[in-house]
Structure 1
Amino acid sequence: MTTVRQRIDTQHRDAIHDAQLNIYGSRLATCGSDRLVKIFEVRPNGQSYPMAELVGHSGPVWKVSWAHPKYGGLLASASYDKKVIIWNEQQGRWQKAYEWAAHEASTTCVAFAPHQYGLMLASASADGDIGILRYDNSSNEWISSKIQKCHEQGVNSVCWAPGSADPAAKKRLVSAGNDKNVKIWAFDDATNEWILEKTLAGHTDFVREAAWCPVTNNGQHTIVSCGMEGNLVLFRTSNIETEEWKAKLLETAPCALYHSSFSPCGSFLSVAGDDNVITIWRENLQGQWIKVPRDNKEREGMSQAVGAPGAQR
């Protein structure tokens, strides 16, 4: 049974669109329609304290993303105002470190890359493009580029593939868009360009988000996507270089699904939908994804449905 450990009164003045913990779970960043980004300290005892209120966007803020702590306190935010802002913490004070405004429509998502890729991030936009920002240590500047015309009618999300200790491993990311597709992009070192590597089908409506599992198991990669038609689709490959991705429909929910996110260990998946419910999925030892019951009543119903021993009382 899942339980609420704590509630945090963020005091946002309007709807909250995203909330992200850093890798240690000690800092929480939130953003909302009030154009604000807020940062909270989260203590092990469950208490939380406001740390900063970041003002810089002129429209609703859709997404926030933490950089790996090896790069210090860095946070990125994406907004309806077409901007990506990178915030930096120095001596307990947060300030704007860089602002990128090259998208031609709402910036819908932002995601820092795994630290093995270097200090870089990707942004998604309703203009159909994906932006790439990379910090160049030699010039101490952010270098920008774009992957253009990624999805017709707009890109809704971007997520990086897990980092690798192998320097020859390709950088990859996955995107979801309003063209009903999930797409995998790979960086070609020879041409210095991002190439469309694979288009994954499994949706009949806008794909709201695609999440790449941060952990690989014996070379197996996993992506989960969710869409407006209610489909929750699992994609897997045992060898990303040579084998095809196999799709499996985990569920068709009775409502639109907006968000999907893996736990850092990769064995849990959370999904949020239009019914104001967050469902948790867990991977069992057989590699199957099972929905975690929300309460004892639901647990009993699921046990009876599969004829589990001890279901009758």
Structure 2
Amino acid sequence: VVATKTAARIIFKMTQAMVATTPAPVSIDTQHDDMVHDAQLDYYGVKLATCSSDRTVKVYSVAKDQEVSHTATLTGHEGPVYEIAWAHPKFGSILASSSFDGSVLLHREVQPMGSWTLVHAHRMHESSVNSISFAPHEYGLVLAAGSSDGKVSVITHREDDSWDATFFQDNMLGVNSVSFAPCSFMSASDDAKDGMRLVVGGCDNKVRFWKLNAETKTWEQDDFDSSKADVTHTDWVRDVAWAPTVSSFNTVASCSEDKTVIIWTQSEDDRTEWKPVLLHTFDAPVWRVSWSVTGTILAVSSGDSDVTMWKQELDGKWSQVASVEDSQPAEEQ
């Protein structure tokens, strides 16, 4: 789902492999009482969740004709809710949310359908939790959370139904975004989960890459320094997104307050270097980047209320293939 935020209204469209056949955007009155910060479809595209500064998370059912109906309102946060994430359906219908109050809440849908229960509350960060990301399902039910305290926590569900969390310090200024790498079958078969990787974007203008050490069970930072790359961000990195496809190359998109989006690529044969390419310089700060399921189309949400979609051509260059503009009248926003 690609969403633009306009007060309590969102505009979304289903991105498909062929952008030319994508249906027109659908405008939804979420009935939130304040700004909407995030909107996410579940794995099957039949549930939509939104979160807001009104401290709530709302869940909707999405029909085949894209008719959306509200089914639940989740509470528990004591501050604005900044981001939400759906777990893989193999774990059931689980929805995570992160908040300015420093907490991460995980809710599970139970019977009767439309009823939700809190299964875990993670309240160990000292400041706002700005971003959350579920690991690939092959690793189990694992969630990463990035906070303004500069730390990233990795929350893991155990077989005895308990939860534990580990932390690592990414930087001292604050973390704005986290994203897991896709799982390769080789790494997933390792009991030690060797190969689990994260990309982190922070307030120090840097993009950092981390890997779980199979022996020490600790997270270790790659030697790569994004600030010394040929192309780099000069302001806060607002979002990072690891492309969900497994291939001979790793691909990560990052966006920044400096109005740029950078595509980082790394060969599986050489994991010491990331090569950056400037996708585009926009007219306003760029807030979010999101890959399609196939990892071939990148959606970019910028501060001018515009969402653009980009695709890499055969010659390696990126070109814009579609856009979704927020055309709601000002009095309705």
Q: Is TM > 0.5 for Structure 1 vs Structure 2?
A: yes
- Summarize the Cα distance change of 1:10–1:286 in structure 2 as closer, same or farther, 3 Å threshold: same
Q: Distance in 2 between matches of 1:294 and 1:130?
A: 33
Q: Secondary structure of the equivalent of 1:35?
A: coil
Q: Distance in 2 between matches of 1:38 and 1:286?
A: 43
The TM-score with structure 1 as length reference comes to 0.90
- Summarize the Cα distance change of 1:287–1:77 in structure 2 as closer, same or farther, 3 Å threshold: same
Q: Distance in 2 between matches of 1:242 and 1:193?
A: 19
Superposition deviation, residue 246 in structure 1? 0.5
For residues 15-37 of structure 1, give each alpha carbon's deviation from its aligned partner in whole angstroms, at most 9, with x where no partner exists: 00000111111111100000000
**Which of residues 279, 285, 290 is equivalent to 2:308?**
279
For residues 272-296 of structure 1, give each alpha carbon's deviation from its aligned partner in whole angstroms, at most 9, with x where no partner exists: 111111111112334432112449x
User: Does the CA contact (< 8 Å) of 2:183 and 2:246 recur in 1?
Assistant: no
For residues 151-189 of structure 1, give each alpha carbon's deviation from its aligned partner in whole angstroms, at most 9, with x where no partner exists: 221000000000121124500010000001000100001
**Which of residues 109, 118, 137 is equivalent to 1:115?**
137
4+ residue runs over 6 A deviation = none
Match of 2:242 in 1: 212
The answer to whether residue 317 in structure 2 is matched with residue 288 in structure 1 is yes
**Which of residues 160, 164, 168 is equivalent to 1:143?**
164
- Summarize the Cα distance change of 1:90–1:200 in structure 2 as closer, same or farther, 3 Å threshold: same
- Summarize the Cα distance change of 1:164–1:279 in structure 2 as closer, same or farther, 3 Å threshold: same
Q: Secondary structure of the equivalent of 1:12?
A: coil
Q: Distance in 2 between matches of 1:183 and 1:15?
A: 30
**Which of residues 206, 218, 221 is equivalent to 2:250?**
221
Match of 1:170 in 2: 195
Match of 2:204 in 1: 179
Q: What is the percent sequence identity of the aligned residues? A: 38
- The residue correspondences of 1:54-203 to structure 2 (distance < 5 A) are 54-91=74-111, 92=113, 93-137=115-159, 139-148=160-169, 150-166=170-186, 167-168=189-190, 169-197=194-222, 198-201=224-227, 202-203=232-233
Q: Distance in 1 between matches of 2:250 and 2:308?
A: 22
**Structure 2 stretches of 5 or more lacking a match?**
1-19, 325-333
The answer to whether residue 62 in structure 2 is matched with residue 42 in structure 1 is yes
Q: Distance in 1 between matches of 2:39 and 2:269?
A: 31
Q: What amino acid is the match of 2:158?
A: D
**Structure 1 stretches of 5 or more lacking a match?**
296-313
User: Does the CA contact (< 8 Å) of 1:74 and 1:89 recur in 2?
Assistant: yes
| Bigger-Rg structure (1/2) | 1
Q: What amino acid is the match of 1:38?
A: K
User: Does the CA contact (< 8 Å) of 2:207 and 2:237 recur in 1?
Assistant: yes
- Summarize the Cα distance change of 1:64–1:294 in structure 2 as closer, same or farther, 3 Å threshold: closer
Q: What amino acid is the match of 1:147?
A: F
For residues 62-99 of structure 1, give each alpha carbon's deviation from its aligned partner in whole angstroms, at most 9, with x where no partner exists: 00000000000101000001000000111121111110
- Summarize the Cα distance change of 1:287–1:254 in structure 2 as closer, same or farther, 3 Å threshold: same
Name the Cα RMSD after superposition: 1.5
User: Does the CA contact (< 8 Å) of 1:124 and 1:157 recur in 2?
Assistant: yes
Superposition deviation, residue 240 in structure 1? 6.1
- The residue correspondences of 1:192-271 to structure 2 (distance < 5 A) are 192-197=217-222, 198-201=224-227, 202-217=232-247, 219-239=248-268, 242-271=271-300
Q: When the two structures are aligned, how many residues end up with a matched partner?
A: 292
Superposition deviation, residue 49 in structure 1? 1.1
Q: Distance in 1 between matches of 2:323 and 2:174?
A: 34
Q: Secondary structure of the equivalent of 1:229?
A: coil
